[in-house]
């Protein structure tokens, strides 16, 4: 695992447009910083999604019905899925996430509260295809909250939806939350909070990269930079060099690689795509789901969909 991560970083950092995948945000500090982001007033997605799920709780549950297996994609602290336990009564709960330690801790905690549900934790990279041969015939509800789908390029999102539609085998479906296109000011403020938590979250990725590959990124040389790219309908996060700086990457197979950054050069760290309801529903239907049910908040900031297999 470790060496594939290093290889991935080596090639993305030395590419023509340097980048670090957003999965490198989530070391222990990064996961905690993200939790703080979700508490910020400027970061509307988390609380808006919770509002939608709370207000429409029984209607959502009625449409989904009881299920055999609840598959939580990007479970994090499992809090969102645990609220579904009492409404769709899963017999089994599978929590998937990139961050293994964090997840196992959360699942074992949850197991104590819900001893009747069979639980398991799986560390997976959601950008890769998934299959669930042992529960082929069960009614599966895939749960992908928090607009994590926003990190996928649109074509990747289509593949992801097709993968899930196929794994449903005509039963169950996908309950998913996605952030909607809205005014520029609201969008950009959510990724430029005045307290600087998002900046710390973004910069922390350099510390994580240093600890994974032994590079020597100096945080004092970098600043957080986030804006809404209107033509691609996405928030882009970058780290921007404040001054000319060199970074040494100890390479695995050869001599150290030195990258020279000029003041103003950027490393792309995240895309967070924003959709319209119409477009998002169309994508789900194109991927093979038969029906899509939608719920939003009064300001149309966020969308929760159930895409039925
Ligand atoms: C976890 C991908 C949904 O895109 O809003 C929050 C990550 N980045 N602030 C998002 C994030 C900066 C978040 N997702």
Q: Ligand 1 mean position to 272 CA, how many Å? A: 7
- Closest ligand 1 atom to residue 270 Cα is 8
Q: Ligand 1 mean position to 158 CA, how many Å? A: 19
Low-confidence stretches of the chain (pLDDT beneath 70): 1-2, 252
CA atoms within 13 A on the CB side of 124: 18
* pTM for this entry: 0.95
Q: Which helix (H) or strand (E) holds 240?
A: strand 234-241
Q: What is the pLDDT of residue 151?
A: 96
Per the listing, tokens 């997840």 go with 103
Measured CA to CA, the distance from residue 277 to residue 128 in angstroms comes to 26
- Closest ligand 1 atom to residue 201 Cα is 12
Residue with CA at minimum distance from ligand 1 atom 5: 272
Measured CA to CA, the distance from residue 23 to residue 128 in angstroms comes to 13
| 215 neighbors 239 (Cβ within 8 angstroms) | no
| 292 neighbors 281 (Cβ within 8 angstroms) | yes
What is the CB < 6 Å shell around ligand 1? 37, 45, 146-148, 150-151, 191, 198, 270, 272
- Which of 44, 50, 272 has most ligand 1 atoms within 8 Å of its beta carbon, as the pocket-test mutant? 272
Q: Ligand 1 mean position to 157 CA, how many Å? A: 16
Strands 173-179 and 92-97: unpaired
pLDDT, tens digit (0-9, with 9 covering 90-100), for 1-31: 568 899 999 999 999 999 999 999 999 899 8
Backbone angles phi, psi at 154, to 5 degrees: -55, -40
Residue with CA at minimum distance from ligand 1 atom 10: 272
- Closest ligand 1 atom to residue 272 Cα is 4
| 97 neighbors 75 (Cβ within 8 angstroms) | yes
Measured CA to CA, the distance from residue 234 to residue 181 in angstroms comes to 9
- Give me the DSSP letters along 118-187: EEEEEE--TTS----GGGTTS-EEEEE-TTGGGGS-HHHHHHHHHHHHHHTTTS-EEEEEEEBP--HHHH
**Nearest alpha-carbon partner for 199 in 218, 171, 226, 217:** 226
| 176 neighbors 303 (Cβ within 8 angstroms) | no
Q: What is the pLDDT of residue 79?
A: 86
């Amino acid at each position: 695992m470790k060496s594939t991560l290093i290889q991935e970083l080596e090639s993305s950092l030395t590419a023509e447009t340097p980048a670090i995948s957003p999965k490198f945000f989530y070391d222990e500090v990064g996961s905690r910083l993200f939790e703080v982001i979700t508490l910020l007033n400027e970061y509307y997605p988390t609380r808006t999604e919770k509002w939608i799920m709370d207000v429409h709780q029984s209607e959502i549950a009625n449409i989904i019905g009881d299920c055999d297996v609840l598959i939580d994609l990007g479970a994090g602290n499992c809090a969102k899925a645990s609220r579904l336990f009492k409404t769709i009564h899963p017999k089994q709960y599978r929590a998937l996430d990139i961050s293994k330690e964090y997840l196992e801790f959360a699942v074992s905690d949850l197991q104590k509260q819900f001893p009747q549900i069979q639980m398991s934790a799986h560390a997976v990279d959601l950008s890769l295809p998934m299959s669930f041969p042992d529960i082929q015939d069960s009614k599966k509800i895939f749960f992908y909250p928090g607009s994590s789908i926003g990190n996928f390029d649109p074509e990747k999102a289509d593949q992801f939806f097709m993968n899930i539609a196929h794994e449903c085998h005509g039963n169950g479906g996908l309950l998913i939350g996605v952030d909607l296109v809205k005014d520029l000011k609201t969008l950009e403020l959510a990724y430029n909070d005045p307290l600087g938590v998002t900046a710390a979250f973004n910069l922390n990725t350099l510390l994580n990269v240093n600890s994974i590959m032994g590079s020597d990124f100096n945080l004092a040389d970098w600043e957080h930079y986030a804006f809404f790219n209107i033509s691609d309908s996405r928030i882009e996060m970058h780290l921007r060099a404040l001054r000319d700086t060199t970074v040494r990457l100890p390479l695995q197979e050869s001599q150290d690689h030195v990258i020279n950054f000029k003041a103003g050069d950027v490393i792309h760290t995240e895309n967070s795509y924003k959709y319209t309801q119409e477009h998002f529903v169309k994508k789900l239907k194109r991927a093979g789901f038969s029906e899509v049910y939608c719920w939003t908040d009064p300001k149309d900031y966020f969308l929760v969909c159930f895409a039925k297999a």
